[in-house]
Amino acid sequence: MEFVRFAENLATFVDVARTGSFSAVARQRGQVASSVARQIDALEREMGVALFTRSTRALARTDAGDLLYERAARILQDLSETRDAVAALEQGVAGRLRVACLPAFARRHVVPQLGSLYAQYPGLSVELELTERVVDPVVERFDLVIRVGQQADSNLIARSIATQRYVVCATPDYLRMHGRPTHVDDLVRHRLIDRAHSTSMRGWRELLTPAHAARVAFAVECDDCDARRLSVLQGLGIALMPDWSVGEDIGAGRLEELLLEGTLPQPQSNIYLLRAAPRATAKVKAFCAHLAHGIGSPPSWQLAMVPARERARRNPAAPLPEGPRRAPAPNAGSRTTARQARA
């Protein structure tokens, strides 16, 4: 019983160390902050060291807290994997699966797959954290992390489930009113929709040279992919979007892809499923296989764009896919900035 309490307190400590807040962990667990603080107090008494330096404004780990955090996170991950592996011998695909994913990709391509996943595996449940930050599955005890874009070297085991490319696009009405740009020089006479932050997702500033980026006007800047998609669909300007976000819109004719000359080369990027465990559990294998099947190969969003390409071949005067081309113009327009709170 003492060991069980110690393990519970250790798990609470890891969560507090990760978030830096008693109240944040209390909200996640449905407890009050004082209860979480008492668990940390009990752990400090048992270990005979202070794990946090506390003040009214901050909660910082001590050297002992840093050491315990590094080791405890891995121990708890091993315990979770061991429990799941043993349970899987009798239960098959069952239990809770913790997954972290980019919010927009999850809404459009992960959540829609859950109904059929549960129908096939009724004993499975998914805890889905939507965040744009880079998640460490070891430290934060996630079974899987879905990442979009180029991957830095790491010790994680990665599986690519699809490719992606970035699309310059606008509504047909916007292009009729303001003209169709064919070269990056033309963008100075257009309104652009862009990311508010340069993170793993590509924005206009990565596609344009510094000289071009300094001359263009941004009508909307937002770090949420869905908000940028809605902005371009309203005709607010020209956007640079991942094809998994706007492929269906282009295929349906709601948006048109623009080919621009003079842009910087775009590196190949993929969508990855990442895990820390060397061997995938039955539930991880089931989730990965189901998601990959649902997305398809080629991915469903790229297949959706095929009708648009066929229309473009039949009507060469209205170009469309594959990379960036020239035109007239609107006013620079007003600037709106929006930000999505990070998890």
What letters, b where the CB count within 10 A reaches 16 and e where it falls short, cover 36-66?
A: bbebbeebbeeeeeebbeeeeeebebeeebe
State how far the alpha carbon of 231 is from the alpha carbons of 114, 122, 159, 245, in Å: 28, 38, 32, 13
Does domain 166-266+302-338 fall under CATH 3.40.190.10? My reply is yes
Task: Note the pLDDT of residue 26.
Answer: 86
Q: What is the pTM of this model?
A: 0.65
Q: Which two tokens stand for residue 161?
A: 């489930």
CATH code linked to domain 91-164+270-296: 3.40.190.10
For the chain, give every domain's residue range.
Answer: 2-72, 91-164+270-296, 166-266+302-338
Rounded CA separation 326/331 (Å): 17
DSSP state of 298: T
Q: Is 131 helix (H, G, I), strand (E, B) or coil?
A: coil
Rounded CA gap, 88 and 84, in Å?
A: 6
Domains 91-164+270-296 and 166-266+302-338 agree in fold: yes
**pLDDT tens track of the chain, all 343 residues?**
477 788 888 888 888 888 888 888 888 888 888 888 888 998 888 888 999 888 777 788 898 888 888 888 878 877 776 766 666 555 678 889 999 999 999 999 999 999 999 999 999 999 999 988 888 887 788 999 999 876 655 778 889 999 898 999 999 999 999 999 999 889 888 999 988 765 445 678 777 777 777 778 788 888 889 999 999 999 999 999 999 999 999 999 999 999 888 787 777 788 999 998 888 888 999 999 999 999 998 899 999 988 655 655 555 544 444 443 333 444 444 444 443 333 3
Query: Phi, psi (5° rounding) for residue 271?
Result: -115, 125
Q: Tokens 């909660």 — which residue?
A: 59
* Domain covering 2-72, topology: Arc Repressor Mutant, subunit A (1.10.10)
Strand partners, 52: 61
What local confidence, expressed as pLDDT, does residue 271 receive? Answer: 93
Residues 90 and 28: their CA atoms lie apart, in Å, by 30
Measured distance CA(29)–CA(127) in Å, rounded:
13
Position 255 scores a pLDDT of 96
pLDDT of residue 15: 86
Are 22 and 37 in contact by the 8 Å Cβ rule? The answer is: yes
DSSP states of 85-129 as a string?
HHHHHHHSS-EEEEEEE-HHHIIIIIGGGHHHHHHH-TTEEEEEE
